[in-house]
Structures are given as C-alpha cells and as structure tokens.
Amino acid sequence: MEVLGFLRLEASGPMVMVALSVVLLVLLKWYSTSAFSRLEKLGIRHPKPSPFIGNLTFFRQGFWESQMELRKQYGPLSGYYLGRQMFIVISDPAMIKQVLVEKFSNFTNRMASGLEPKPVANSVLFLRDKRWEEVRSVLTPAFSPEKLNEMAPLISQACNLLLAHLKHYAESRDAFDIQRCYCCYTTDMVASVAFGTQVNSQKAPEHPFVKHCRRFFASSIPRPTLVLILSFPSIMVPLARILPNKNRDELNGFFNKLIRNVIALRDQQAAEERRRDFLQMVLDARHSTSSVGVENFDMVRPVFSGTECTANPSQQHQPRLLSRPLTVDEVVGQAFIFLIAGYEIITNTLSFATYLLATNPDCQKKLLREVDHFSEKHPAPEYCSLQKGLPYLDMVIAETLRMYPPAFR
C-alpha cells in the first residue's frame, strides 16, 4: 500500500505542474487583454490593441503623426491603450471647451504615472483636488500685471545677456546655433526668476545649475523598461519607485538644497532687501493666499476679452489661511513649472519664430517697425503697455504656436 501511495504521488507531481502551468497561461492570457474592452463598452472607436502593450506600436512613428492618424481614422472622439491604461482623445473644439471651461470642476486632476520626479510631482501640474486648488490660488496672483512688472527687470537682465551674445555673432557674421542661444537665455531667466540664482549659461556652461538642468531633461526611461511598466504597472511602478536611482536622487537633492539655501538667506533679510522674483512671491504666500476661486484661475481669457489691464488686481482678494503651509518640496515644485515651461517650450517657440521671420522678410520688417515705434514711446515698458502696444508681435507668436505647437495635446 505504501508503495502504491508513493507511485500515485510521483504520478501526480508532473500533473500538478502541468495543471499549474495551464492555469498560469490562462491567467496571463486573461490579464493580457482584460483591460481592452472599456473603450468598446463606451462606444469609442480605437485601433485594435495588442496583448499586454495595447496600442504602443501604433505610436512608433511619433506622437504627433500618430495623433493625426488617430483622428483621421477614428474621428474627433477616439481612444487608445498604452499598456493597460485607457486614453480618450478629444479633438472637437466644442467638447474641448466643455472639459477645459464649462465642466472644468470635473476635470481638475491630471493623470499621474507615479514615476514623476519628486519636484514635478509636488508641482501644480500633479497636485490633486483641494491641495491643487490651494496651491493654484497662490500662483494666480503671481501672474497679475503688478507682479509681472516687478519681475520685468530680472527678465530684462537675461534679455541683455542674450542680445550681447547675438551682437557678437552678428558682428563676426559667422554661422551659429541660435537655438542654443535661446536655450541659454531661458535657462538664465528661469534660474533668476524661479530659483533666485544668477547665472550666465552661455559663458559658464559648467555652472552647477546649468549642468543639473541638462541632466534633468536628458534623463529618460529605457524603452524595454517602459514596455514592462506599461504592461505590468501594478508591479513595476512601485518597484521603480523603491529601487535605487542615483541620478534621480542627485537631481532632487540639488534643486531641493538650492531652494532651501535661498529660503534661509531671505529669511535673514529685511523685506525690502529681498529680490522681487517668482520664488519670493511664492515664499510670501507660504502661509496665506489671496482668496481666488477656481472661477478666477483663467489668466488667458482677460487678455483676449478686450478688458482694461488693471494695475493691481491682486489686492481685490482678501488673504485667507491655507489648510497647511506650503512645504519646501511644494515650493521647489512650483519653481520647476518655470523650468519645464522655459527650458524647451520657450526655446523652441523663439527658434521657430526666428526661422519664420527669416523666411518671411516682409513680416520681419513690419514687426521691426512696430517694435521700434513701441520702444520710442515706452523706454521702460510695463506689462500692460506690452499687451496693448505690440499687436503684430502677438500675431507672430500666435501664428508660430499654431504652426509649430510645442505642446500639441
């Protein structure tokens, strides 16, 4: 009997392994496609997804070309999957207005992967719900005409450095990379306005701030790792967060330490001695903020509505306490907004605008006349006078953004 029992056990061992393998394959098969029925249930057209990776291969030619192909094939309301993550793409203007304006209170949170660098995760781009609203309330008054006028001298300093470099190239008549000049300009401006640090990145490309900015934008996730993260997000995202990452930790540490040092220095200074930059405006509002509701967050509409540019709108709102003061990490995060927007978006927009003006000399002459006339009337221009006095420049920038959008979705 003992021998028979042993034989049965021996026989059942391989069978158990086979059975477990079959169950595992069935579960993998189910997992590989289980997330891909949601768009169909919503009645939204989309490309056929592949197991595990979804429509990742659909975007192999690049996001811009693929988004245009998506609209062409599947219409103004379509969707796709990246890994198991579902995306709905809206390219109908009326529906976009509903999401971004009319029903905005339902769409305040942005999608987060969980892999955002710490400074970015603490920025207004990825804060959520009530905390997003509070921090956004801090930022809105910082972009009033009054506050922008206070920051204008710092922006002008960066402009003067740019003009000095361009003058040198113009006099030498040598070919040069103007995009690199614009990149240095935006780096200098962001360092000054958002991080309270004076740099000249054209002459000092090895300055620690410049080097760490380059490292931040050069860092990326290897493609095989990205495929694994998209295919198995519940396993890979927590794993990626806890695994050691020397580059990530050094970048986070540098920018955090930089802001902490600036805060410590300014806390020792009298109020009138502190630089009037964006960082200082955020520091001033660490504990309280103007009572700006979500309905007043739109800073673009007044520009196009034809309303008068008020000199001091930030005083129209009474201060109120935040639920908790801004942390140093959140202050660093808001400074990073300038870095993300300035380092590439402004650089690319200026580069394309320069190209378009160079290839359209009549437009270039017309713009130059407008700028020369404006400079005669306004030796030290303020924000409101810029809005009213340079309509053709505004058209040139708007047309550049239309033709070469730096952020197309």
Sequence-ordered list of residues with C-beta below 8 angstroms from that of 309, at least 6 positions apart, any chain: 145, 383, 384, 387, 388
How far does the chain reach from its first CA to its final CA, in angstroms? Answer: 73
The model's pLDDT over 137-157, given as tens digits with 9 standing for 90+, comes to: 888 888 888 888 888 888 888
* Distance of alpha carbon 237 from alpha carbon 228, whole angstroms: 9
* 134 vs 392, more confident: 392
Distance CA 133, CA 129 (A): 7
β-strand partners of 82 = 54, 85
Distance in angstroms (rounded) separating the CA atoms of residues 97 and 111: 19
Residue 307 pLDDT = 52
Quote the pLDDT of residue 370. 95
> Both tokens of residue 41?
């249930």
Dihedral of CA atoms 292, 397, 348, 64 in degrees, nearest 10, equals 90
- pLDDT score for 314: 45
Q: What is the mean pLDDT of residues 358-380?
A: 93
**Rg of the chain on CA atoms, in Å:** 27
Each residue's pLDDT tens digit, 64-122: 888 899 999 999 999 999 888 899 999 999 999 999 888 888 887 888 777 777 788 88
Question: Which has more pLDDT, 297 or 236?
Answer: 236
Q: Residue 313: pLDDT above 50?
A: no
Residue 128 burial (CB count, 10 A): 11
Residue 290 has pLDDT above 70, yes or no: no
Lowest mean pLDDT among 180-194, 283-297, 339-353: 283-297
Q: What is the pLDDT of residue 126?
A: 86
pLDDT at 398 over 90: yes
Domain range annotation of the chain:
34-107, 129-352, 360-408
How confident is the model at residue 229, as a pLDDT?
Answer: 73
Cα–Cα distances in angstroms (integers) from residue 99 to residues 42, 129, 170, 223, in the given order? 18, 16, 47, 32
- The number of residues in the chain equals 409
Residues 6+ apart with CB under 8 A from 186: 342, 343, 346, 347
Judged by DSSP in three states, 293 sits in coil
Question: pTM score, two decimals?
Answer: 0.79
Does residue 3 surpass a pLDDT of 70? Answer: no
Higher-pLDDT residue of 101, 409? 101
SS3 content of the chain, % helix, strand, coil (to 5): 65, 5, 30
Long-range CB pairs of 159-168, under 8 A, 24+ apart, other chains included: 159/185, 161/185, 161/188, 161/200, 161/202, 162/188, 165/202
Q: Angle at Cα 160 formed by Cα 195 and Cα 202, nearest 5°? A: 65
- The pLDDT, as a whole number, for residue 327 is 84
DSSP annotation string for 320-357? EE-SSPPPHHHHHHHHHHHHHIIIIIIHHHHHHHHHHH
Q: What share of the chain has pLDDT > 70, as a percent?
A: 88
Token pair listed for 158: 């960066």
CA 397 to chain centre: 20
Fold that domain 129-352 belongs to in CATH? Cytochrome p450 (1.10.630)
User: Tens digits of per-residue pLDDT, 16-37?
Assistant: 788 888 888 888 888 888 888 8
232-281: per-residue pLDDT in tens? Answer: 777 777 777 777 778 788 888 888 888 888 888 888 888 777 888 888 88
